[in-house]
Structures are given as C-alpha cells and as structure tokens.
Structure 1
Amino acid sequence: MNQAPDLIVPTDLVDPLDPTDLVDPLDPTDLVDPLDPGGFDLYLPGHGGRPPVVVLVHGLFPEPPPVSPRRTPFFRAYAAQLASRGTAAVVLDHELTGGMRYPEASATLDRVLSAVRSSGEVDGDAVGVWFFSGGGPLAYPVLAAGHEWLRCVALTYPLLPTEDIPGWPSLSDALRGLGNTPVVLTLVENELPAFVAGQQALLAAPPPGLTTIDVPGAEHGFDTGPATEHGRAAVLRALDAVTGQLVGTP
C-alpha cells in the first residue's frame, strides 16, 4: 500500500458531506458521553460486561474540517443508538479528513481495531465494522484479511472500487476473505453517479450473508439531514440488522 492515495479512487470522488452540517439521523437521540482511551471514542451499553463492538468508519473530505467526524451529532447518534441496543460502539477520525490518503487511513483503522480488540472493555472476538460513503474502499483490506473476529460488516451508500489497483485488495479479494460474514448494505434510490458502479458490482456478486436496505426517494447522505419517514425506517433497520448479528434479535 505504498502507492499514491489518488490511485485508490478518482480524485473527483470527494465525499459531499460536510461534517459541520451532519445532524442526528434519528433526531432526537439521547446522546451519551463516550470514554476516550486515546485515538478513538468508546461508547458502552449500560449493562456492563464485555459487549460486542461496532467500529464506525467515516467517509472522505478534501481538507480537515472545523469539526471532526468523531465529534459530530451524526456519529455520536449512531454510536448512542448502537449502545442502546447492547453493543459497544467506536468512532475514530482517520486521514480521509485530509484528502485521499487511503493507505494512511487504512493503517489508522488497523491500529484502532487492534487497540479496541485488546481493550478489556469489549469482546474482541465479536466485532462489526460499519463503513460510510467515501470510506468504503477501506473495507477491502479489512475483508480480504479474513479475520475470524469480524462478525458483521455494514456499508451505507458506499464508494466501492471496481478496478484492480496495485497494492490494494480487489472486490473479489474482499469477497473471498469475507466468506459467510453477514453484510448490511444501505442503498439510496438517487445515488451519486460515481458511486453506482461499485455498488452494482457488489450486487452482481452478492455475498451469502447480504442484507440490502433500499431507501426509496433518498439521496446520498440521506441520514445527514432532517429525518424523513423512509430515512428513519432505513437507519433503524440497519441498526437492528447490525446489532442483531452481534447480540441477537433486538
């Protein structure tokens, strides 16, 4: 993964979502205060023990925003909703807040996953990873590695590379490593054209454990604005699908 970051995705595919504008996708959500073990925020459910954990991976931004994704109501709300369903949640910032630094972001994600799994606060053998938008390419190295501890993968309006890129796993590599691990894929009816091909490629070779959530009438980033009936239902279904794989049916 020593190639220039702009070889991972075309340089015009910058995530259109402004972190300063990201709002609670289920407005209102009862937010909770996370722990800060260093380098990421950890949200824990109230029942104690060592719960399974979901790591939330943000998308791509052209330059460092005034408010990092980790601190936005959007990711705080997703994390709080996961914690209310019995899983821990982790939110991290990575190098995609400074342009197309995919190799560096992948290394940061690996470090955080290792730190989370070794934490005594969570069950390191029951981990889900949830990728949003332009963070989608970061899924390929995680999936291709075939980790036994990976129990669920979620992809929300993801960017997924379709061409083989030197030094980066392909979609077929990712699917081989994924095996039967459940995948929760959220798609919008009015997707950005540049994101459609990768999503269709995944649907053309669907993994065995794929659950698809379609959001009629919605656009890319539907959950970053005021809640709608279809949007709220899709977010709730995705949350329940992910936590259902880790803690059982909500």
Structure 2
Amino acid sequence: MPCQTVIMSETPSFLRPFVLTPPARRHERVANLDWYVPDGDVPRPAVVLVHGGPLPDDLHPGPRDWPVYRGYGCLLADLGVLAVAVEHRMRVVDGPQGPATDCATAALDVAAAVDQVRADPRVDGERIALWFFSGGGLLSTDWLRDRPSWLRAVALTYPLLAPLPGWGVDPRFAPGVALGEPGGAVPPLLLTRVGRERKEMAETVAAFLDAAGDAGVRVEVIDVPDGQHGFDMLDHTDESRRAVEQAADWVARRPGSSPSRTAAAERYDTLLRHLGSGPVATRASCRN
C-alpha cells in the first residue's frame, strides 16, 4: 500500500477566539470601517482600532473579521464608547532599494478614518482615542507628533515602536522620536507589554519608554509577564483576561464617558476591583 501524505489543518493564530466574551453586538460595515455603536442616541466618545501589519494583499479574512477586533469592538461598545475598526493598507511594496513596508498609505487610511469618525453625528468629535496593535504601532507617530486637542488618549498593545531592519520603512515613522519633538501636550499613553515578546520588538518598546523618559512623558504600562505577542487571542489565561479588561477600561475612560455607560462601567469596575491588585497590571512611569 503506497504511503499517503496527510495534511493537518490548523486554525491561523489571527482566527483564534478573543480571550473575553463580551455581549455580542451587530456592527455596521461601511467601506473600510466597521462601527460598533452603543445603545442610545447621544453623541459618544469614539475609539479607533488600528490593526497591525504589514499584511499580504490576498489575506482572507481581513482584520475586521478577526475575532480579536470584533471582540474589542463589542467590549468597548458595551463600555459605552463607539468603537470603529479601520482596515488600512500597510503592505510590502517594491521600493527603490527593494521591498519596503508602505506605512505612508496606511497612515493616510487611518487619518481618513479618523476624519470620518469625527464627522459622524453619533460621535463627539472632541473626544477621540486611538488604539494601535502590533506593527500598527508605527502609525501612532503622526498623532504623537501633531497632538490634536481632540485626541484624548493613545493606547499601544504589543506594539512595534521603531522600524525593524529590512522593513524599508520611511524613517519618519518613529514614535519615540515624535515624543521628543516640540508641540502641545502629549495625550495620555497606555502601553500593554508582553513578557514573551520577540526580542527585536521588545527592544523597540524599551527604546520608546526610554525616549518618553527623556522627554518627560508619562506612559502607563500594563505588564503581561507570561503573555506572548497576540496574547489577547493566543493565551486564554486569567492574566490575559485581566490585562484586556484593564486596557479597555482605561481606553473607555480617557475620552470621557457618557451617562448611559454607567451600567456597563459598574460591572467592569467591580471586576477590576477584584482583579486589579494582581501582578498583571502595573501602573508604571515612563521608564522600565
């Protein structure tokens, strides 16, 4: 009998379930934006979720259909803020010196998304937060440099905070450098840092925190000691769940809540009071 090759299929990491199970909520899909809208008819603060990259052109499904971003959208809406997941075009393209990561196009996509969100009548355009994940952390640069008054918070989860060698990224995408440039006050910053991060990415986080210290900018840090990159879909542990709860609560509070947030907020506040004293979340100053 001839040998047979058996191909085992495994669920890609980005399709693993979100570590929390917030109440399900239907979303609205318009162009490259998915909207998660809380109940009620008053203008809400909004959080724009910015996924990582670079991603291949033919990746299916796209990030807005990944359980992790649907989960964050539902979680934030349950906390009373309007959440919008933007799908941007951070891709590897052919550049003059070889393959390059196109952050410039992705940054334009994010900026256009923010403009659309702020113009929507369901949104209080003066109360916006941006939440960047993984390689999307590079796209925080312009916002940390320009610091518009309506930007009430920036969150960074297992982020890349400096271009890696060989990525061919425009050098202007350097979040740590942006912190030290003159301008208005840097918005409140939250960084979720994983203990099992890849060395080259962990080094960019450390350099960012050092740059923040040099610039006198405070960064609140949530540490996930046993977490890996993508812990919010890969590590279904109490540690992961606490970190996500605390990050979402921080992000939802910073733009300013609306009155109808109260019921959801009380539920999460109770959970955080029980869990917040553990070793996962540390409110740290800007240095390691």
Give the TM-score range, shorter chain.
0.7 to 0.9
Q: Is the 8 A contact 1:57 1:130 kept in 2?
A: yes
Which 10-residue stretch deviates more, 164-173 or 92-101? 164-173
**Residue 231 (1) aligns with residue 240 (2):** yes
**In the superposition, relative to structure 1, how do residues 86 and 225 fare at CA in structure 2: closer, same or farther (>3 Å)?**
same
**In the superposition, relative to structure 1, how do residues 116 and 181 fare at CA in structure 2: closer, same or farther (>3 Å)?**
same
- Name 2:83's counterpart in structure 1: 89
- Name 2:253's counterpart in structure 1: 244
- Name 1:30's counterpart in structure 2: 23
Q: CA offset at residue 216 of structure 1?
A: 1.6
**Cα shift readout 1:187-208 (whole Å, capped 9, x = no counterpart):** 0111111111211112222464
- Name 1:215's counterpart in structure 2: 224
Q: 1: CA distance between counterparts of 2:37 and 2:84?
A: 9
- Alignment coverage as a number of residue pairs: 233
**In the superposition, relative to structure 1, how do residues 67 and 120 fare at CA in structure 2: closer, same or farther (>3 Å)?**
same
Code of the aligned partner of 1:181:
P
**In the superposition, relative to structure 1, how do residues 170 and 21 fare at CA in structure 2: closer, same or farther (>3 Å)?**
closer
Q: CA offset at residue 67 of structure 1?
A: 0.4
Q: Is the 8 A contact 1:65 1:97 kept in 2?
A: no
Q: Secondary structure at the match of 1:126?
A: strand
**Residue 173 (1) aligns with residue 182 (2):** no
**Cα shift readout 1:65-113 (whole Å, capped 9, x = no counterpart):** 1100011211011011000111000001111266722111001111111
Q: Secondary structure at the match of 2:254?
A: helix
Q: CA offset at residue 39 of structure 1?
A: 2.5
Code of the aligned partner of 2:72:
Y
- Name 2:71's counterpart in structure 1: 77
- Higher alpha-carbon Rg: 2
Q: After the TM superposition, list the runs of 4 or more consecutive aligned residues in structure 1 that deviate by more than 6 angstroms.
A: none
**In the superposition, relative to structure 1, how do residues 98 and 24 fare at CA in structure 2: closer, same or farther (>3 Å)?**
farther
**In the superposition, relative to structure 1, how do residues 106 and 22 fare at CA in structure 2: closer, same or farther (>3 Å)?**
farther
Q: Secondary structure at the match of 1:36?
A: strand
Aligned positions of 1:1-250 closer than 5 A: 20-26=14-20, 28-63=21-56, 64-96=58-90, 100-161=101-162, 166-168=171-173, 171-176=176-181, 177=183, 179-204=185-210, 205-206=212-213, 208-248=217-257, 250=265
Q: Is the 8 A contact 1:60 1:133 kept in 2?
A: yes
Q: Secondary structure at the match of 2:126?
A: coil
Q: 2: CA distance between counterparts of 1:84 and 1:97?
A: 32
Runs (5+) with no aligned partner, structure 2 = 1-10, 94-100, 266-288
RMSD, aligned α-carbons: 2.4
**In the superposition, relative to structure 1, how do residues 226 and 19 fare at CA in structure 2: closer, same or farther (>3 Å)?**
closer
Runs (5+) with no aligned partner, structure 1 = 1-16
Q: Percent identity?
A: 32
